[in-house]
Every structure is written in structure tokens, then in C-alpha cells.
């Protein structure tokens, strides 16, 4: 079948805009919006009986996994061991057949991720595959397919697959919490209701495209960009940097904000825009001190936050992008959008081939 761009300039733009809808489809597979409960899911293992979850993936899918580590550990008290697949398969970590392993992949064909899956299979672990292509090799070789319902993703830069992966993983973390008794039935309902609000908030964020395009025009004049975040916004900072370098070819790094003074601060001057991803959460003040350190060295701050964050950020920014105030559990899903849009518009200003960036393949099926 044919997939076309509709009235969009690029597949990536179209796929960014599809997110409210595909997040909703994906979530509906796992949660009952009306009842405010998780839908039944036949898992080949019991979250209550495993001691650890191993996760392996590449690129953007790996960063979705890294965000889910925060969720599984926070909501379900389930330790997660995660690595990029090319390290996972060779680092000889001790694996237990009593534990489960999740593999995250849009294509379901990525060579290193597939090799990691087979490696865990050999170790006798139970295998779950979070995949977008249901007919893929990973789907076939897993014990349970945990589908993302993003539809075909054509742009090489992953966007909607990522937020759908996050949606699946968030629902699984809640499920793990219920199974392990760390989430009560009331909390389950609250969290499910919060998840169900993600598509609506995503829609609101898409309307910020005018402002984000303006920031992207500025960004396209720089050679290096630093992204900072704490907690789940740390993997998101790495995702922002990955997206930007992939399609605009601007060098970018994503760092945990707390690591700033352990090295990257040496790079800060007026030629270094710093994108800070910081909703007003319980560690917001820590990030404010990092921003002050950046500002004191002439660094240009682009702050992505919410209304409370904007009110409490006592620092001069080049631009502040204010997102809706969203519940903690959906924050990474919602904050992914401005990150993707920023990379997209910057690449458009740079005149690169957005959907087919140089040297990259949509699916890396050789090691």
C-alpha cells in the first residue's frame, strides 16, 4: 500500500502531527479509558515474580527504554538494567532465566537488538517485543508482542514511534506497579486517566509550531548545541541532541544537567545555545542553578518548561517555550514534541534532506 505526505512538506512533519491520534490508538490497546483501568494483557511472566527487567534497543528506541527505567523503578520498584543493544549483546552481563527482557524497536529488524533478543532467549529469559511492525522478526521471536500502533513511519528520524513506545512502556510500568503492589487500585485509575490525557496535551503542543519555528531559525546559525535535563528529561535531552544531529547535521550533545560542571561547562560561551528541558517538578530548582551557571558564562538558554517553571526560572533566557502543565507520567511524551519540532524546523532552515538524511538508513539490519 501507499503512504503519502498528505499536504505536509515532509513525512517527518506529517508523522509529528499524527502523534495525538496514534498515541491515542496505542494507549487504547492497553488501557480502558472509560473504566479508568488497565486492559487485561496476557504476559508470559509475572511482574510480581521477577527481580529485574532487562531492556535493550538502539538509538531513539533505546532512549524510550531509558525513560521507562525511571518509570519501572519509580512506579513498580522494579530494577531495570538497560543498555544499547550493541553493548548489551557483548558485555557478558549475568542474566537470570527467572527475569524478563524487553526489546524496543520500530522496525523489529535492527541487527543488534535482534541479536540481544536471541542472546536473552538462549539464557532462558521471557521475551517481550515493543515493536511497530507486527510481522517483524523480533515480533515473531518474542513470547509476547507489545505493539505500538503508530502506523508506518517513513521519516528516518523516529518521532511517532518514539512517543508510542513511551505510551506502551508507561502503561506497562503502571501494570508492573499494580502487580507488585506498589500502585493501589485508586492510583491505577488516576494514572490511567492521566495517560488518557496525553493526546489532548500533544495537540496543544503542536500549536506552538510558530514559536518553535522562530527558535529553530536562530538555532540554525550555530555549530553546536547542548541539551540538558534531569530525571526523564535527561534521556529526552539525549533524544533532542540525536534528532538535531541526525537531520540538521548540527553537532549536539545531551547531558544530565547535574553533569554540567563535570565537563561540558567548559564549552559554554555566547556561541553555545543550551536547550534546557525542565518542567516544574521536584528537582526543578536544581536545574535553575544549572541555568544560572550557563547564564553567568554567556550561554544562550532556550528553556522548555510549563507555566509554573516559567514563573520560577530566575534566569534570563533567549526564549522560553511554555507547555501545558501536565501530569508527571505523561511529561516525557508531551515534552518529546517540542524537541522533535525544533530539530525538524532547524533542518528545514538548513535545507537538508529531512526524511532521508545522509549516511542513515531507516532500519539498520547489519551490525
Active site residues: 362
If binding is defined by CB under 6 A, does position 136 make contact with ligand AGP? Answer: no
Backbone angles phi, psi at 253, to 5 degrees: -130, 140
Cβ atoms of 277 and 304 within 8 Å: the answer is yes
Cell (9 digits) for 302: 532556550
Backbone angles phi, psi at 87, to 5 degrees: -90, -45
Report the C-alpha gap between 177 and 330 in whole angstroms: 16
CB of 240 to ligand AGP, least distance (A): 11
Determine the residue with CB nearest ligand AGP: 59
Identify the three-state secondary structure at position 17.
helix
Among 156, 166, 202, 275, binds ligand AGP (CB under 6 A): 156
Among 56, 107, 163, 305, binds ligand AGP (CB under 6 A): 107
Cβ atoms of 335 and 236 within 8 Å: the answer is yes
Name the packing angle between helices 160-179 and 185-196 (round to 10°): 170
CB of 12 to ligand AGP, least distance (A): 10
Identify the three-state secondary structure at position 67.
helix
Site string for ligand AGP, 111-130 (x = CB under 6 A): --x-----------------
CB of 114 to ligand AGP, least distance (A): 9
If binding is defined by CB under 6 A, does position 153 make contact with ligand AGP? Answer: no
Q: Which of residues 44-103 bind ligand AGP (CB under 6 A)?
A: 58-61
Q: Which span sits near ligand AGP by CB under 6 A: 20-28, 150-158, 271-279, 288-296?
A: 150-158
If binding is defined by CB under 6 A, does position 364 make contact with ligand AGP? Answer: yes
Report the C-alpha gap between 205 and 201 in whole angstroms: 6
CB of 58 to ligand AGP, least distance (A): 4
Specify the residue, 189 or 363, whose C-beta has the smaller distance to ligand AGP.
Answer: 363
Specify the residue, 17 or 300, whose C-beta has the smaller distance to ligand AGP.
Answer: 17
Q: How far is CA 44 from CA 137, 148, 340, in A?
A: 19, 19, 35
Specify the residue, 7 or 359, whose C-beta has the smaller distance to ligand AGP.
Answer: 359
Q: Is the dihedral of CA 71, 76, 82, 85 positive or negative?
A: negative
Strands 31-32 and 37-38: antiparallel
If binding is defined by CB under 6 A, does position 246 make contact with ligand AGP? Answer: yes
Counting DSSP H helices and E strands in the chain, the numbers are 14, 12
DSSP-assigned beta bridge partners for residue 31: 38
Specify the residue, 59 or 229, whose C-beta has the smaller distance to ligand AGP.
Answer: 59
CB of 109 to ligand AGP, least distance (A): 7
Report the C-alpha gap between 67 and 198 in whole angstroms: 16
Specify the residue, 96 or 365, whose C-beta has the smaller distance to ligand AGP.
Answer: 365
Q: Which span sits near ligand AGP by CB under 6 A: 19-27, 30-38, 156-164, 306-314?
A: 156-164
Q: Tell me how many residues contact ligand AGP (CB under 6 A).
A: 15
- Give the interface with ligand AGP as residue ranges (CB under 6 A): 58-61, 105-107, 110, 113, 156-158, 246, 363-364
Amino acid at each position: 500500500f501507499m503512504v503519502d505526505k498528505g499536504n505536509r512538506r515532509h513525512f517527518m512533519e506529517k508523522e509529528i502531527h499524527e502523534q495525538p491520534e496514534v498515541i491515542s490508538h496505542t494507549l487504547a490497546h492497553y488501557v480502558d479509558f472509560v473504566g479508568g483501568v488497565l486492559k487485561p494483557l496476557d504476559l508470559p511472566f509475572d511482574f510480581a515474580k521477577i527481580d529485574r527487567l532487562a531492556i535493550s534497543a538502539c538509538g531513539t528506541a533505546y532512549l524510550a527504554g531509558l525513560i521507562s527505567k525511571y518509570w519501572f523503578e519509580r512506579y513498580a520498584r522494579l530494577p531495570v538494567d538497560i543498555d544499547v543493544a550493541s553493548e548489551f549483546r557483548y558485555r557478558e552481563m549475568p542474566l537470570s532465566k527467572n527475569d524478563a527482557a524487553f526489546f524496543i524497536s520500530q522496525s523489529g529488524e535492527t541487527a543488534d537488538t535482534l541479536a540481544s533478543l536471541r542472546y536473552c532467549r538462549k539464557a532462558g529469559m521471557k521475551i517481550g517485543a515493543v515493536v511497530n511492525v507486527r510481522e517483524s522478526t523480533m515480533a515473531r521471536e518474542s513470547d509476547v508482542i507489545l505493539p505500538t500502533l503508530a502506523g508506518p513511519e517513513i521519516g528516518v528520524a523516529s518521532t511517532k514511534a518514539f512517543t508510542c513506545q513511551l505510551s506502551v512502556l508507561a502503561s506497562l510500568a503502571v501494570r508492573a506497579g499494580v502487580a507488585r503492589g506498589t500502585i493501589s487500585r485508586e492510583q491505577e485509575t488516576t494514572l490511567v486517566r492521566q495517560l488518557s490525557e496525553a493526546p489532548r496535551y500533544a495537540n496543544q503542543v503542536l500549536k506552538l509550531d510558530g514559536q518553535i519555528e522562530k527558535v529553530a531559525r536562530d538555532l540554525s546559525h550555530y555549530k553546536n548545541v547542548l541539551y540538558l535535563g534531569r530525571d526523564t528529561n535527561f534521556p529526552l535531552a539525549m533524544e533532542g541532541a540525536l534528532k538535531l544531529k541526525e537531520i540538521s547535521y548540527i553537532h549536539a550533545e545531551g547531558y544530565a544537567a547535574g553533569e554540567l560542571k563535570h565537563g561540558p561547562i567548559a564549552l559554554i560561551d555566547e556561541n553555545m545555545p543550551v536547550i534546557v528541558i525542565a518542567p516544574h517538578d521536584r528537582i526543578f530548582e536544581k536545574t535553575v542553578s544549572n541555568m544560572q551557571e550557563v547564564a553567568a558564562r554567556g550561554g544562550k538558554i532556550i528553556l522548555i518548561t510549563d507555566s509554573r517553571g516559567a514563573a520560577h526560572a530566575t534566569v534570563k533566557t533567549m526564549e522560553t517555550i511554555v507547555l501545558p502543565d501536565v501530569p508527571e507520567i505523561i511529561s516525557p511524551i508531551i515534552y518529546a514534541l517540542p524537541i522533535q519540532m525544533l530539530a525538524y524546523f532547524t533542518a528545514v532552515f538548513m535545507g537538508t534532506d529531512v526524511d532521508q538524511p545522509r549516511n542513515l538508513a531507516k532500519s539498520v539490519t547489519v551490525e
